[in-house]
Each structure stands twice: as C-alpha cells, then as structure tokens.
Structure 1
Amino acid sequence: MLFKLSRRNVQRSIKDYSIYFFTLALGICIFYIFNSIESQTIMMDLSDTQKIFLDALNKIISMVSVFVSFVLGFLILYANNFLIKKRNKEFGIYLTLGISRSKIAFMLFYETIIVGILSLVVGIFIGVFLSQGLAGVTDKLFAIDMTEYKFIFSKDACLKTIFYFGIMYFISMVFNFILVSRCKLINLINGDRNNEKLKGTNLILSVILFVISVICLAVAYKLILENGLTNINDKFKLSIVLGIVGTVLFFRALAGFLIKVIQSSKNQYLKNLNTFTLRQLNSKINTNYISMSVICLMLFVSIGMYTASIGTKSAMENTAQFLAPYDMTLTHTYEKQENLKASKEKISETVKEIGFNIKDYTNEYLDYNIYNSQVKFKQLFKSTTDDFLSRQINSMRDFNVPIVKLSDYNKLMKMQNKETINLKDKEVFLFTDMSTIEPSIKEYVNKNKTMKIGEEDFEVNSQYGFNSIEDTLNSGNFATLVVKDENINNYSLVKKCLSLNYTGDKKETENKAVKDLKKCMTEGKKYEENKAVKISAMTRIISLEGNMASSSMYLYVGLYIGIIFLIASAAVLGLSQLSGAIESVGRYEILRKLGVSSNMINRSIFIQVLLYFAIPILLALVHSIFGIQVANDVIKIFGDYDTLGNNIISVCIICAVYCVYFYGTYRGYKRIVNK
C-alpha cells in the first residue's frame, strides 16, 4: 500500500518538479561521462607523453568528482527539503487518518529509492551513449590517433556513479526521517497558512543597504583590478570578502530598492498586475536572499571556469608551435653561478662520451651558452606604463636578465628560417617569447637610447625580437639581451644548450633519439655523477603533445565544474519558483475571481520568473567582467588568444542552458497555477 502511494506521489511530483528530476539525470550523465575518460583510452594510440597526461587527467577528474558530488548532494538535500515543506498539509492529513510517522518516513524512503533508480538509469543510459563521442573529442583535443572505434561501457565509471549517488540518496533518506519525526500535526495542518504571509521590507533601510552593497562591490572590483590574481595578499583577500559581502547586501536590499524605484513612476507601478508581481518578487527575494547570493556567486564561478578553461586551451595551443622551434633541445642548467671555464665542454661532447652521438640524428645543430647579464629585470622595466607588467612587477621575484652572443642568436634564427640581426660594438638587442611582455619591450626600446650592463654603457637597438630560442612547454623568457661576442666578458654561466633538427623521417628519428638518449643517460649515470652533469631534454613532438594535453586538461576540468555549478544554480532557482507557485495558488484564484484574465496572470508569472532568474546572472556577469579581465592577464602568460570571441562564446553557451531552465520553470509555474 505504502509503495503504491509512493509511486503515485513520484508520478505526480515529476510533473510539477520535472526540473529537479531533469537536473538529477543530467548531473548523473555528466558524472559518468567525465569519469569514463580512462576507459576510452583503449581506442587510442598513445605516446608515453600522452599516457602520462591522460593518467594525470583521470586522477584530477577523480578528485574533482568528489567535490562535484558534494555540490550535487547539496542540491539533492535542498530540493528534498523544499519538496517536504510543500507537502506539509499532505503529511498532516496522513497523520489525522491514523498513519504513523514511521510509515510516512518509509513512504518517503520508497519515494527516494524510486527517484534514485529512475535518475540513475536515465542518467547512466544517456551518459553511456554521449560518452561514445568523448573518445572522438579527446582524440582531437590531445592530437591522438584513434586505432579502431569500439562501443565502450565503462564499468568503473558506472560503479563510481552508483556509489557516489547511492551515498547521496542514503543521506537524503536519513534527513527525511529526521524531518518527519520532528513534525508536529498543528504545524503541518497550518503549513500553507504560514506560507501565505507576504514578507515586507523597510524601504529606507533597503535603499541604504543597496548603496552600501554598490560601494562594497566597487571597492572589490578596484582592488582586484589593481592587484590581479597572481599576488595572494591582504588586498586580494579583502577584495574577495568585499565581493561576497556586497553580493549578499545587494540581494538583501534589492526587493525594497526595486519597489522604491518603481513606485517613483506611478504609471508603471499601477499598470496591469505590476504591483502584485513586484510584491510577489519582493517576498521571494526577502525569503531567499542568502540562497540567491550563493547562486549568483556559483554562476560567477561557472562563467569564470568556462571562459578561463577555453581561454587557456586556446592560448596554449596558439603558442605550442612557437615554443618548439627545433626538433630537440638539450640543456644543462647551473644551480650556482660559475665562470666561463664551466662552458669549455659542449653538450654535444658531453653526451657523446656516454654514447649519444648527435650526428647520428642530425646534420644541423648548435651548441650555445646563456649567461647572466648583471641587469636586474625589475630595474630594467621599473618605468613601464604597460598595465599588465606594472600590476605584476611588484609581486614578481627579481632576477638577472640573461644574455647571449650575437653569433649564437643569428645561427639559431637561421635554423628557424628567420631573419638575422646586425649589431655595432657596445650595442644591445632585446627579445622575449612572452606576448604579455612584448609591449613593455617595445616601449623600452623606443624610450631608451642606452642601457648599462655591468660597468659598461650599451646603445639600445631600435628593434626588438619576439622569438623562442629553445624548446619548452611554457613561455618563460621575460627578456633576453643579445650583444656582440667580444662584448660578453666574464659573465657567469646560466646554462648550456644544444638545439638540433632531425634528418629523415621526423617521427622515426624522434623515437630513436629519445630511446637512445634515455638508454645512454641511464648507463652513463656514474659519469653523470662524477662530472655533476644534469642534462634535460625537450623535443618538439613532446612539447606539442604536452601543450595539447595540458590545455585539454584545463578544458575538461573547467567544463566539468562549470556545468555542475550552472545546472545546480539554475535548478535551485527553478525549484524555489515552483515551490512559490504552490504557495501562491490561492492568490491567483482570488485574482481570477476579481476578473483578471488568464493572459494577464500568465504575463505576471513570466515577468516574475524572468526577473528571479535574470537578476542573479546579471550580477554574476558584472562580476565576470572584472574577474575575466584579471584572469585574461594570467592566461595571456601562456600565449595570445581571442579574448573577446572566447568570452562571448562561453557566456552565450551558459545563457542558453540557463534559458532552458528558465523556460521549464515558467511552464511548470503556469501549470501549477492554472491546474
């Protein structure tokens, strides 16, 4: 009997709370899809580098999934709390009919099991089919060759999904038991009467709080723009606190402030059902201003994760080729400053002694050295007017700007098929591989005629370079100086390098060279320890694969968190409005008795739901304007990308999903009121 009653209740609730069930199924679907990535790798021809990054991605996804389960668990508890509160009268009737609290609790237990099984079956079923396309997406993102397509069902992802959501549903059942056991019959019977009270607000206090909130947010925006994201100091922490406080005060004061503004125009305030609609909205915001503040901040995080992940991927991919100009680069970095005697033995000679002959893989290579110039980076750019560098320079660690010989620089440019340069005696040329520093370099060479290097004055060349002189995963050369060979006197050595381009088939030579080098470095361990030689290698293929894989990791994690935050936020807003619809049924009946048409009522519902959905995301978008601006400064360290285009695409995708929830809530609200 109880099971039949539970099944009927679920069927009835699905119609009124379809958004909740849709979000549960969608959350389970997304959870399964992202946790099935590991199973998709059986179709992929992975290199060693790609295997390392995919293993790292799977570990990160597993950790993020724990966090995601907490967010979805909160959503389930929040929704269940709403559903139970709105059924107070129903439970009161059960008690008056003689049904015990334990039986009501078991009825809720059955309902939770039915909802859990339905959502798990639907979510995993859809997830299994959608995850088939994930292999193709991963193939493109990681630049992997797919060996053969297979239909993949991830047993591990399925079990993990069932386990996590099973725990959530169990906790939900425990909370349901507690809530029902504490219910009093008088409160249950009078539940709707208590809900019918419209909460008012002090208009003057609301206006004051609204002004304070705007001031808090303005100061927060100013602080974060000045400080940026890389310097975690008191100013950064204060901007976060003020942003949160300003958001909470904004929603606390919003309803009263809106009434004050609209009342100033009597024509609008008294037009149609505007007075009723505004009072409805006022009551809802006053009751849920804390949850609306949290939703706004979650939407802000969602927008930020979307734009940052897409932007980081674009930036890293755009600079991947630029950062790997040669087929291979070997480097020996010196931890302590040493004199020129340390550079007598070239890297090509060092590796030859342990069995790795460079000439077996190339006929185009160069040994070169990078030195310390005694010029401090902060001193060099202390007068820069570039916004990015001026904000970051105080929090950066100072260092000596490296310097290279003109002959080495020109040989490296020839290997890249780029133009060489000519320098006079005591003339210096600057170059960088960071797009964020390029404007400051350009400004410096335009404004400065001379530069002091050590005790000598050098004329600054009117041109500058934007180049990379070694293979690397990330941009890291803020600035490097180039002078004539005879002008480098007794500078301490930073590192020795060797760059080369393969002969023959690039991939075959790469595989042979990497394999041989690993073998030689292992067998030459004794020699390496005796000579204190620590040689590292980077190849173009590894660099490209690493950049593609790293950028895809950022993208997957950003999308995963962003989607979950978005659907959770939209679902909570929708559930709040649908519960409000049940509370307001009596009010709409009174309107009908007063002769108000269905069109006017539907219009009032549309405006109310629209404003309730629009206000949090509009404030989140305002937050995002400033948040994205400082995030872009960090992302640009990885390289250039279309900031405007990526941000617009991200916001449009988020707004599209948000609009689906808005439309579903509006339809559900109308169905409840007109039923």
Structure 2
Amino acid sequence: MNFPQFAFNNVKRNGRAYIAYLLSSSFMVMIFFTYAVFIYHPEIKRNPMGPMTQAGMQVAAYVVYIFAIFFVLYSISVFLKSRNKEFGILMILGAKAGQINRLIFLENMLIGAISIVTGIASGLLLSKLFLLLSTKIISMDNLPFYWPIKAIMLTSACFIALFLFISLFTLLFIRKNRILELLKGNSKPKKEPKASILLSLFGAALLSVGFVTLRLGELSPMVIFVAAGSGIAGTYFFYSQLSVLLIRLLQRNRKRTWRGTNLLWISEMSYKIKDNARMLFLVTVVTSVACMSAGFVLAIDQTSKQAFLKNPFALNYTVYNDQFLPAELDHIESEIKAAGVDYKRFKAEISYSRVENSIPGNADIRYISVFSMSTFNELSEALDTRPVQELAKDSAVVLYTGKEIATGSEIKLEHAPGAVIVTDKRKVETLASLSYKEALLVVNDTVFEQMKESLISNETRPSIHYLYTVPAWDHLPAKDEAQSLIGSSLYEWNRNQLNDHQSENYLRIRADDYWNTKQATSLFSFIGIFVALIFSISTASFLYFKLHTELAADSRMYHALSKIGLSTREMSASATKQIAFLFFVPIVISTVQTLVVLSPILSYMKVSYVNQSTFIVALAFLAAQTIYFIIARLRYVNTLKKMMV
C-alpha cells in the first residue's frame, strides 16, 4: 500500500466524521457553480434585468466563496484536533513530522477534489432547473440551457486554490506535541469551567451599548458600525463568560438542579458552552446575518404590496408644463380605454409649504403638503375618508400616516395670510399616494387661493396632479395582466418624452412601481435563499463536527454512569437536552438580535412589517435546524446507547 492509498483509506475509515464536511463543501461548490452558470449565460446581457441580476449573482458568489474559506478552515482545524491520538500512534510506528503533514495535505486535497467533482456534477444536473426557477422568481424571460465551460473552469480553479491554500496554511499551525500528549487525544480531563464576573459584566455592557446606540442615537453609518461592533463582541462574551456564569448560578439552586437528570445535563452544559463558545458565537453571527438580510428583503416586499393596495390611484400624472397637456392626457386615456376598463379622472392641486413656526410635539416637521377643501372633498371617496365640512379661514384639518399633529396646534405656513389652527385630525392610510410627507393639511379654499397667488408672484406654483382610479385594477397584478402591460407601455412613452425634451411632466404608475420593487426584492430573495441555505447547512455541520469530536469522551462518561444505575432513557433525555441547547439557543439569540437591529433601521426607512418578516425568517431557520437536530440527535444517541451497560 503506497502513501496516497493510505490517505484514501484514512478518509474512507473516517467516513462518519467526513460526511457532513464533504456534503457541506459539495453544496457550497454547487451553489457557486450555479451562480457562475447564470453569470456567464450568453443571453443574460440581452435582458433588461440582466445587468442588475448579473451583478447581484456576482456578489452572492463572492459571499459564498468568502464563507467557504472560513468554513473549510474551521472544519479542518476540528478534524485535526479530533485525530491527535491517531497521529500519536503513527509517530510511535516511526512516522516523521513531514510524513504526518503530507498525510494531512493529501486527505484535505482528496476531500476537496471529491467536493469539487460532486458539486459541479450536481450543479450540471440542476442547472436547467436553477435557470428556470431564477427567471420565474425574478420575472425574466426564460434562459435556455447551455454548456457552461467558463463556469466549470472558474469553479474548479477557485475551489482548487481554496483547498490548496487552506491545506498548506493549516500545516503551519499543527502543534508539535509530545507523543504522550497526542496519545491522550481528547481523553484528558477537562478543567472546571470558570467565568470572570468582570468580563461577564463587560459583555452585558457591550450588548447594552449596541441596543441603546440603535434606539437612542440618530442613525448613521458610524452608529450602525458601533452597534454592530459592540453587538458582535458582546455576543462572544455572552457565550464565553456570561452564559457560563448564568449556569453556575443555576447550579446553586439545588431545588431545581438536583431533580432527575437535571444535575447531569446542567453540569455538562457548563463544560459544553465553554468548550464550544467560539463555535456557538460563529453560528449565532452567521444566522443573525442571514436573518437580517432575509428579514430586510421580506419587509421591503411586504411594504411594497401594502403600498400598492393602499394607493387608490392607478396613475398619477404630475404636470410641470401644460404646453402639450391635452395631447398627453388623450394618449394616457386612450391606452386605458384600449383595455376596456372603466376609469375616473381627478384634478388636484397640492402646495408644499414651509412651516415657519415650531409645532408642539412635532418640531421636526419643517414642510407640509397643503390641499384646498374643495379638492380634498372631491378626492375623499377615493381616499376612503369622509369629506370636510365647513372650514373657517383660520382653521385646518390635518391628515397623517405616521406621526400625528394634535388638535389645537397652531401652524404658520409660508405664503399663507395667517396662522391656522388644527381643528380635526385623521389617520388616512391612503395619504402616501398623494404626498411623500407624513402629514397633509386641508385649508379653506380662500386661504389656498391666496397661497397660490403668493406662490405665483414668487415664480412658483402648486403642483398639479391628474389622478386616475381604475376599479378593475385594484388588486396585485400579474406580469402579463393589462395594468402591468399598459403601465410598462406608458412608462416607456413618458420616459421617451422626457428624454426627447418633448415634455416636462412626470407619470407615476402604481403597477410599474410595484413591479420595479418586486423585481429588485425577488432578485435579493432568490440570492438570499441560496446563501441562507449555505449558512444553515454549514452551521448544522459546525454543530455536528463538535458533537462528533466529543462523542468519544461522552461515550466513556455515559458508560461509567450506566454502571451505577443511569438508564438508557435518562441518558437519552440528558443528551437530547444538551444537543437541543446547542442547536436552538443560537436561533433564539439571532432572532432577538435581528429584531433589535432591523426595527430602528427599517423604521428610519419608513418600512413596516418588521416583526412579521423577522419571525417568518426565524421560523424557517427553526424548521431547518429542527431537521438537522433530529438527524444529529438520532446518530448521537444511537452511538451512546451502544455504550450503555
């Protein structure tokens, strides 16, 4: 038997340890390859969505590759640590340090080669399905299958370089232990886990700083950077110090700890958390990043859907120059008539006025939209609110979507003849369809006309909007529906008019806004699904590796305990609780971190549905983690059962 055969047999004999690593590596190669298949598709540049989609896929491929570096490095270090005893025996038999290094290098490259071959082969089998699925989700034209030579060469080169670099890199850090220490392997008795109170308090302080910075500070890149840094560092100290301290405090509660098998699994958890602090920290950070990314995209998508449903106007034509207005309105309405649907047109003048005084409780409102009473009453039915009755010259009704203005507030408007008092306030969800401001003011017609004359004398004027309601289009559209097709046609027409300087008027189309947002979020959703899958499978692999390395020590412990009366059922219950803690605690912490981070950021961006989106993502990760937990627990407990007396 030559040396390469010896390395191959080593991999084959350690199949149980290598299988999770091999599958995860193959999956990463497959995802990277399928992204490359999409990026280098010859038809991609001819599609309108092609360049943006191609750029998104490239970013995703970089993320996968960078993560693969850390994943492979961590996995190899775990395997080397678990095989100390094997290396010690080889050295007793006369193996030199150089031969041990060569063995490790060959094994790593063998696993890498198998991963690359199986990953590319799987990618080729699934590439047609990937292209079909990606184009459907992103709403692109179907891309035919092609023979991806560039993708195969790029994937092979990148991952051969990765495995080669890491295999050489790890050899520099192999400890030159004495043979006796190697032979002991992982059987050396562990020291009692200890936690520093000062470091525990420091970790809690870091987590508090991250929370307070996001909640109380004005959002900026520096604030987000400080919050991210303190939150990540605090998470590490939580696992390495604070959690150990909390378990030590729990152990002092004898009434709860000295009940059934609680003493066994709680005591073991203090060791496992301390030993696995870095791994748990890594799993939590990776899961948090995936949850935040997916939660952000879901929240944007849900907000876009609600913005469509709360907008009663299918088209909003803003007029800045009425030179060709009749012909432009005829073109718009002829397109709608061609669809055979009923519509209604409204004309609205809106003034954007500067607020000259400080509104109590709303000092940050410096500009506000202003409507005349008659215009608002004409639109009230479409806006799903009641008309305004009579308004005096010094009174106004405030409509709001977010921060309300209290009744009795005095508002001094630029160009208005005098201050107005808020006599009524209403929350109107459809207000965003008319104004980007959070509040809109309805004033007496005379006051509005006086404001309008003052604006004109200053060479400005209120903006004029022609608004179209189409009852048959008040639902989320499919890509091939009339409102989507007509919307795209009118958008192209308006853009050409503006580019050719034949008009200065801007057409905003509800269906087109919805599809632009949906295409962008669909792209990120599609990319995020596969990146999240890699993160999910890899974190499960991390946990499986750690359980496998501790299996020998745990087997000896449970074998000894079975001799003094521990039953198989009690062993199973204790082991299950420990494994569940390792698998599910990172999910809980990641969910909390996602809520803490996303809530202020999305609120700042005026995006709702944060909690709903976060919990959907968390439940998806929980479901995947539950499957991994069931598989890992079954294999782990079955192995321990064989050691019971």
TM-score (norm 2): 0.79
Partner Cα distance (2:263, 2:483) in 1: 74
Question: Cα distance 1:177–1:215, how it changes in 2: closer, same or farther (>3 A)?
Answer: closer
Matched with 2:81 is 85
CA contact 2:488–2:512 (8 Å) conserved in 1? no
Matched with 1:170 is 164
Partner Cα distance (2:483, 2:238) in 1: 60
The aligned runs of 1:553-632 (5 Å cut-off) are: 553-591=523-561, 596-631=566-601
Matched with 2:185 is 192
Could you list the per-position Cα deviations for residues 247-271 of structure 1 after superposition, in whole angstroms to 9, with x for gaps in the alignment? 3332223235413422431673474
CA contact 1:300–1:621 (8 Å) conserved in 2? yes
Determine which structure has greater relative contact order: mean sequence separation of CA pairs < 8 Å that are 6+ residues apart, divided by chain length. 1
The aligned runs of 1:335-350 (5 Å cut-off) are: 347-349=321-323
Give the AA of the match of 1:669: Y
Matched with 2:315 is 327
State yes or no: 1:119 paired with 2:115. Answer: yes
SS in 1 for 2:189: coil
CA contact 1:317–1:547 (8 Å) conserved in 2? no
Give the AA of the match of 2:273: I
CA contact 1:105–1:177 (8 Å) conserved in 2? yes
Give the AA of the match of 1:375: V
CA contact 1:300–1:624 (8 Å) conserved in 2? yes
Partner Cα distance (2:126, 2:507) in 1: 39
CA contact 2:317–2:505 (8 Å) conserved in 1? no
CA contact 1:402–1:480 (8 Å) conserved in 2? yes
SS in 1 for 2:358: helix
Shift of 1:621: 3.4
SS in 1 for 2:438: coil
Partner Cα distance (1:162, 1:351) in 2: 60
Could you list the per-position Cα deviations for residues 508-541 of structure 1 after superposition, in whole angstroms to 9, with x for gaps in the alignment? 76566555545544444xxx8xxxx865543344
The aligned runs of 1:8-157 (5 Å cut-off) are: 8-34=9-35, 36=37, 51-128=47-124, 132=128, 134=130, 138=134, 141-142=137-138, 157=151
Could you list the per-position Cα deviations for residues 619-642 of structure 1 after superposition, in whole angstroms to 9, with x for gaps in the alignment? 33343443354355346x24x54x
SS in 1 for 2:167: helix
Q: What is the aligned counterpart of 1:183 among 176, 184, 198?
A: 176
Question: Cα distance 1:207–1:248, how it changes in 2: closer, same or farther (>3 A)?
Answer: same
Shift of 1:549: 1.1
Partner Cα distance (2:281, 2:148) in 1: 38
Matched with 2:413 is 453
Q: What is the aligned counterpart of 2:618 among 648, 651, 655?
A: 651
Question: Cα distance 1:15–1:290, how it changes in 2: closer, same or farther (>3 A)?
Answer: closer
State yes or no: 1:299 paired with 2:287. Answer: yes
CA contact 1:53–1:546 (8 Å) conserved in 2? no
Matched with 2:430 is 467
SS in 2 for 1:113: helix
Matched with 2:396 is 428
Shift of 1:198: 0.6
The aligned runs of 1:160-309 (5 Å cut-off) are: 160-179=154-173, 183-184=176-177, 186=179, 189-192=182-185, 196-202=188-194, 206=196, 210=200, 213-214=203-204, 216-218=206-208, 220-227=210-217, 230-232=219-221, 239-253=227-241, 254-265=243-254, 268-269=257-258, 271-272=260-261, 275=263, 277-309=265-297
Matched with 1:311 is 299
State yes or no: 1:383 paired with 2:372. Answer: no
Q: What is the aligned counterpart of 1:360 among 331, 334, 338?
A: 331
Matched with 1:403 is 370
**RMSD (Å) for aligned C-alpha atoms:** 4.2
CA contact 2:200–2:245 (8 Å) conserved in 1? no
SS in 2 for 1:490: helix
Give the AA of the match of 1:650: V
Shift of 1:480: 3.0
TM-score (norm 1): 0.76
Question: Cα distance 1:276–1:412, how it changes in 2: closer, same or farther (>3 A)?
Answer: closer
Shift of 1:296: 2.4
Could you list the per-position Cα deviations for residues 51-76 of structure 1 after superposition, in whole angstroms to 9, with x for gaps in the alignment? 55553233123123213321221011
Could you list the per-position Cα deviations for residues 529-574 of structure 1 after superposition, in whole angstroms to 9, with x for gaps in the alignment? xxxx865543344322212112323433544444443333332232
CA contact 1:313–1:555 (8 Å) conserved in 2? no
Structure 1 residue ranges without an equivalent (≥5): 333-346, 385-392
Question: Cα distance 1:38–1:403, how it changes in 2: closer, same or farther (>3 A)?
Answer: farther
Partner Cα distance (2:263, 2:32) in 1: 44
CA contact 2:312–2:430 (8 Å) conserved in 1? no
Could you list the per-position Cα deviations for residues 361-400 of structure 1 after superposition, in whole angstroms to 9, with x for gaps in the alignment? 4277677654332216x934x516xxxxxxxx87xxx642
Give the AA of the match of 1:372: Y
Question: Cα distance 1:509–1:294, how it changes in 2: closer, same or farther (>3 A)?
Answer: closer
CA contact 2:82–2:549 (8 Å) conserved in 1? yes
Shift of 1:277: 4.1
Question: Cα distance 1:479–1:417, how it changes in 2: closer, same or farther (>3 A)?
Answer: closer
